Amino acid sequence: MGRKSESWKRPDWLPTGISKNGNLYYWRPGGGLPSVKLCSVKSSRTAVERAFAHAKAQASGQRTFDDLFAKHADIFKGSKATLADMANYYRCYIEPQWQFRDPDSITHIDLNNWFDELQKERSHSVAKNVRCYLGMVYKMGMSRGWCKTNPVKLTETIKLSKEEKIAKAEAKRKRPQLSWEEFDKVYDLATPQIKIIMLLGALCGLRRTDCAEVKLEDLEDDGIYVLQSKNLVQQVKGWNARLREVLELHKQQPLRGKPETVEKNRAKITTLLYGQYGQPYSAAGISNLWNKFREKLRDEYDIDLWWAPHEHKRFFSTELYQETGDLNEVAKATGNNDVATLKRSYIQGIPVVTTIDGSAGQSVEAGISWQGFSYNTEISYAVA
């Protein structure tokens, strides 16, 4: 006897008009229109509902938020890094929630409730960034006539509660801080590619994307020319003795191939960083390279490489602030436009503020330093 097929029971949540045929769900719109294939019967409820919404939107010619975002991406005039970050947030958070909704059907109340959920289930930063990117899409949509309203303008500003601020402050206080001793210990064990990434990050404050995009023609007499990918700021990172090590490290990166062709292939390379076949790295490629290096340190040397490449920019910002005491100077060197964000996100440590000894008429020295710093600025003033 043949094997009996398992009986299928229609789920209670399955919308009217959807039926099963074999291992697939189909929507039958009626009116003589052909059936529309949706997805596998093994798909989750969320996946089925999203496929159903997409099919209905296409059938009715309805505008969707997915269409609005695609139009926004096509004419976006910001940096590639910002667009990539926006696309990542859209794929992870916005798309599952609003992909097939008509942009004008989304209200500020819907968004406020959703932002509350994001802040609770994800983080304050995720909710804040999602709100920012949604606002950018709606603003451009209104200016081009692609949508009639901008519900983001009516939403509440996303703020941390007092308890959340305390927890975040405590986390920052306990967060490890990179030191030159730890940096050099790891640097000595690194491959030429990793060493270049570390030097560009810690000595110049470059992001992963900017490290990957440094070309040989950018190595000028007075330094390394950089066009910051996130804010399009042009800079020349001045040479110093240690930074010049990247010139020799560039030649030490291994290339695969026959001995007689390796040097010919090396002569064709145009980027400072390159892979074993001479190909340039991307930001994702640098992350993969770093993760492999982390595994090697853990397995062969029992070293926990706790930081990622972006930590080098924090290290650079902190060290430069230690030397100059001027946030504007750090902002100029890193290309950050927002000094407040720079201080909050990149300057590590906790300030040691002025105290008085209660002796009238005595000058009091106020040491201004940061936890983990050796930097001190003396300020004298008369105490009445």
Residue 18 confidence (pLDDT) above 50: yes
Mean pLDDT of 327-346: 83
pLDDT at 84: 85
Mean pLDDT of 278-287: 91
pLDDT at 29: 80
Structure tokens at 233: 């700021």
Distance in angstroms (rounded) separating the CA atoms of residues 374 and 313: 19
Contact call for residues 59 and 53 (beta carbons, < 8 A): no
Residue 378 confidence (pLDDT) above 70: no
Cβ neighbour number for residue 194 with a 10 Å cutoff: 21
pLDDT at 31: 73
Q: b/e per residue, 78-100, with b = 16+ CB within 10 A?
A: ebebbeeebbebbeebbbebbbb
CATH class of 180-314: mainly alpha
- Enumerate residues 6+ apart whose C-beta is below 8 A from 345: 314
Residue 206 confidence (pLDDT) above 60: yes
Residue 306 confidence (pLDDT) above 50: yes
Computed over every residue of the chain, the mean pLDDT equals 85
Mean pLDDT of 70-79: 86
Domain ranges in the chain are 1-62, 81-159, 180-314, 350-384
Out of 26-40, 178-192, 304-318, pick the least confident: 26-40
Distance in angstroms (rounded) separating the CA atoms of residues 321 and 329: 8
Superfamily of domain 81-159: Tyrosine recombinase, N-terminal domain (1.10.150.130)
Contact call for residues 278 and 255 (beta carbons, < 8 A): yes
Place of tokens 């294939």: 37
Contact call for residues 81 and 229 (beta carbons, < 8 A): yes
- Enumerate residues 6+ apart whose C-beta is below 8 A from 75: 140
3-state helix, strand and coil shares in percent for the chain, rounded to the nearest 5:
50, 10, 40
Mean pLDDT of 241-254: 95
Distance in angstroms (rounded) separating the CA atoms of residues 123 and 87: 18
pLDDT at 125: 87
Contact call for residues 180 and 174 (beta carbons, < 8 A): no
Out of 68-72, 117-121, 160-164, 353-357, pick the least confident: 353-357
Distance in angstroms (rounded) separating the CA atoms of residues 378 and 99: 56
Q: Could you tell me the pTM of the whole model?
A: 0.67
pLDDT at 376: 40
Distance in angstroms (rounded) separating the CA atoms of residues 57 and 34: 15
Cα 210 vs. chain centroid, distance in angstroms?
A: 13
Q: Give, in order, the Cα–Cα distances in Å from 238 to each of 149, 203, 219, 241, 242.
A: 48, 10, 10, 10, 11
In sign, the C-alpha dihedral spanning 13, 14, 20, 22 is negative
pLDDT of 85-103, one tens digit each? 899 999 899 988 898 888 9
Distance in angstroms (rounded) separating the CA atoms of residues 213 and 134: 29
Q: Which of 15, 8, 16 is nearest to 42 (CA)?
A: 8
Residue 369 confidence (pLDDT) above 60: no
* CB-side neighbour CA atoms (13 Å) of 279: 6
Mean pLDDT of 116-129: 91
Mean pLDDT of 341-352: 79
pLDDT at 39: 84
Measure CA of the first residue to CA of the last residue in the chain; give whole Å. 103
pLDDT of 319-331, one tens digit each? 999 888 888 889 8
